[in-house]
Structure 1
Amino acid sequence: MLLCLARNPGMVLREVALKVGITERATQKIIKDLVDSQVLERYRVGRCNSYRINLDLPLRHPLEQQHTVGQLLSMMLSAEEMGRARSRGKAKT
């Protein structure tokens, strides 16, 4: 889910659910958990939600807390995609 939103922060939840292969309801619950834990920040663009990933936040599992969300995503995103995700993370609205 984070990969989808890192690549396209304006992706609607229905599209995320289809890409990930889970229900839209399950997607909503996961997104809510990520927003509540401050991994994601939700903001409005017109009538739609868009998402910003907190790349500097440590991972939640005690065995992985020395690593950040950004380090995890950097293993799966291209350098260009990571650069875009980083620039969106710094531009607060």
Structure 2
Amino acid sequence: MSDASVSRVPWTFLTNHARVLVQIARDPTLRVRDIAARCELTERAVQRIIADLETDGYLSHTRTGRTNRYQVIPDTQLRHPADAGATVADLLAAALTRHHDGEQARRPAAESVPAE
């Protein structure tokens, strides 16, 4: 059997948690429905991811009426030992530098990622 005929499992560079975090950093007022659409996930999956991120100190939210406003906590260290010393701010700085279309990305809201 040739290598070309072996089916490969698709993989990506970013986890769903990173995708959700990036979307929230771009716009802290996004609804779960909008985050799900942008990340190509279900709303339920996004809710679980947001709960994980809040539980582990990467994100917080405040509720105003029926809407949530999220706040990324930029000084939180990344979890994997290979990323020792890197913070959420470091990840977002790299992820928010450019969009997939090559145009300059919109900077995250000031309250999400403070200036260094």
TM range (shorter): 0.7 to 0.9
- Structure 2 residue 34 is matched with structure 1 residue 15: yes
Give the AA of the match of 2:32.
Answer: L
Q: What do you get for the CA RMSD once the two structures are aligned?
A: 1.9
- Structure 2 residue 111 is matched with structure 1 residue 88: yes
Aligned residues: 88
Deviating beyond 4 angstroms after TM superposition, the runs of 4 or more aligned structure 1 residues are: none
- Structure 2 residue 89 is matched with structure 1 residue 70: yes
- Structure 2 residue 76 is matched with structure 1 residue 50: no
* Distance of 2:112 and 2:28 partners within structure 1: 11
- Structure 2 residue 54 is matched with structure 1 residue 27: no
* Distance of 1:59 and 1:17 partners within structure 2: 23
Q: What is the identity percentage for the equivalent residue pairs of Structure 1 and Structure 2?
A: 36
Cα drift, residue 89 of structure 1: 4.1
Cα drift, residue 90 of structure 1: 7.7
Give the AA of the match of 1:81.
Answer: R
Determine helix, strand or coil for the equivalent of 1:41: strand
Q: 5+ residue gaps in structure 2? A: 1-19, 98-104
Q: TM-score, normalised by structure 2?
A: 0.68
Residues 1:80 and 1:16: Cα distance change in structure 2 (over 3 Å): closer
- Equivalent pair of 2:60/2:70 in contact (CA under 8 Å): yes
Give the AA of the match of 1:20.
Answer: C
Q: TM-score, normalised by structure 1?
A: 0.84
Determine helix, strand or coil for the equivalent of 1:81: coil
Partner of 2:17: none
Please tell me whether Structure 1 or Structure 2 has the larger radius of gyration of its CA atoms: 2
* Distance of 2:85 and 2:48 partners within structure 1: 26
Say which structure is richer in helix.
1
